[in-house]
Amino acid sequence: MTPQELRERLKSFAYRSVRVCESMPNTVTSQIISKQLLRSALSSAANYRAATRAQSKKQFLSKLNIALEEIDESSFWLDAIKDLEIIHVDKLSLLLEESVELTKILSATKNTTVKNLKAEFAKQS
């Protein structure tokens, strides 16, 4: 998967999360969870976008770490919506699956980047 394809998947995930939040009932719990999901889903896409525009590998890794944390947090909020039965699981299943896949992809990207940075550092020593 190219960085551009991953950017698009994260952006799509964020926009789909917006739609889920807009469909949630108007309760105190739903409002709180909705705001958290919106923040984390949009942040994951924005930070990965920033990572792809990084000036250095260390800056890339820093933004990538934030994107990874945020997509993982999004998974938590989606699980909460499912567990608390705020929205029927049928409407969440694909988005939940996507959050897990994106977490795995970003985690693998992070591991590869760390490995490459360590190899680069070892060559310089």
How far, rounded to the nearest angstrom, does the alpha carbon of residue 64 sit from its chain's CA centroid? 10
Which token pair is 7?
């950017």
Residue 68 structural domain? 3-124
Domain CATH number, residue 34: 1.20.1440.60
Cβ atoms of 92 and 82 within 8 Å: the answer is yes
Q: How many domains does the chain have?
A: 1
Which token pair is 11?
């952006």
69-114 pLDDT per residue, tens = 999 999 999 999 999 999 998 989 999 999 999 999 999 999 999 9
22-68 pLDDT per residue, tens = 999 999 999 999 999 999 999 999 999 999 999 999 999 999 999 99
C-alpha–C-alpha distance, residues 3 and 100, integer Å: 18
Half-sphere exposure of 103 (CA within 13 A, CB side): 16
